[in-house]
């Protein structure tokens, strides 16, 4: 069984937030909830300043602290490494939110599923919001329904610069391992010992 993960090439990322929008469109997340987003930072001293972009999403950690902290077992890790939430088991204690050092868990507070507009839900929202339940937690599923059909996550296929590579992290001959090895890939906040399955390249 493959164990899925992703490599993000920061040298290719132009901070266009296409991944953010593709994720919103695919998952139909409520207002203010972004499973994928691009953290932007300005560095340097004027006039030699520049903006750097760090696209982030759930790291689908092998030692996922959110799954460890969940008292009900609602958060679980699939055999293919994707960290999921069973909304029917979630009690909304937010232990997973506090456990995730990457802030990639989202709580659906009361009133969040009323849609962006003022005239009730659009037909699109009405369908997409069926996946969510008030008072429970949601997160990036690495587009599990797409992956189950042999497709790549929406953020990967949308990226105009091919900055994202999706695949099996355990395949020794696979593209992911090769990229990580050749270009000295690194993960976010390794000091938290969560064994993330999203790597970054900047060499």
Partner 1 sequence: MTTQSVGIANHRFAFGYYRQTFWNWLIGTAFFLGGLGAGLFVLALLTDHTAGMLVGYLIVVVGKNTAHLLFLGRPERFWRAAMRPDRSWIARGIWAMGLFAVSGLILLLPRVLGPAWQLSGWLNGAATAVAVLSAVVIMFYDGFVMNSSPGVAFWRTRLLPLLLLMYATLGGATLSLTIRELRGEAIPGFLPTLEHGLLVVNFVLLAVYLARMNRSLPAARETLRQWLSGPYARVFFGLVLLVGLLATLLLSVVQSHVQATGLVLLIAACELTGDFTLVMVLLKSGLFPRQTALAYSARGI
- Judged by the rule CB under 8 A, the positions of this chain that interact with partner 1 are 10, 34, 37-46, 49, 52, 54, 56, 65, 68-74, 89-95, 97-103, 107-109, 133-137, 186-194, 200, 202
Nearer Cβ to partner 1 (194/197): 194
Burial of 16 (0-12, 13-18, 19+ CB in 10 A): middle
Nearer Cβ to partner 1 (124/193): 193
Nearer Cβ to partner 1 (108/169): 108
Contact between 123 and 61 (Cβ < 8 Å): no
How far apart are CB 94 and partner 1 at their closest, in Å? 4
How far apart are CB 149 and partner 1 at their closest, in Å? 29
Residue 1 and residue 49: Cα distance in Å, rounded?
45
How far apart are CB 7 and partner 1 at their closest, in Å? 14
How far apart are CB 151 and partner 1 at their closest, in Å? 27
Among 128, 96, 105, 97, smallest CA distance to 56 is for: 105
Residue 70 and residue 53: Cα distance in Å, rounded?
31
Cβ within 8 Å of residue 196, ≥6 positions away: 59, 60, 61, 62, 102, 187, 188, 190
Nearer Cβ to partner 1 (42/119): 42
Nearer Cβ to partner 1 (58/147): 58
How far apart are CB 58 and partner 1 at their closest, in Å? 12
């Amino acid at each position: 069984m493959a164990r899925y993960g992703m490599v993000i090439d920061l040298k290719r990322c132009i901070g266009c937030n296409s991944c953010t929008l593709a994720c919103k469109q695919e998952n139909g997340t409520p207002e203010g909830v972004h499973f994928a987003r691009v953290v932007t930072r300005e560095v340097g001293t004027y006039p030699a300043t520049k903006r750097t972009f760090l696209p982030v999403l759930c790291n689908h950690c092998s030692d996922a602290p959110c799954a460890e902290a969940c008292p009900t077992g609602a958060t679980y890790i699939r055999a293919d490494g994707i960290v999921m939430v069973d909304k029917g088991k979630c009690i909304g204690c937010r232990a997973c939110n506090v456990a995730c050092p990457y802030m990639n868990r989202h709580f659906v507070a009361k009133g969040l599923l009323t849609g962006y507009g003022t005239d009730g839900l659009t037909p699109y929202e009405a369908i997409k919001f069926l996946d969510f339940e008030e008072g429970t937690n949601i997160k990036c599923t690495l587009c599990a329904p797409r992956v189950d059909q042999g497709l790549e996550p929406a953020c990967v296929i949308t990226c105009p610069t091919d900055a994202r590579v999706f695949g099996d992290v355990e395949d020794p001959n696979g593209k992911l391992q090769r990229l990580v090895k050749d270009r000295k890939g690194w993960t976010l906040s390794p000091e938290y010992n969560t064994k993330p399955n999203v790597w970054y390249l900047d060499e």
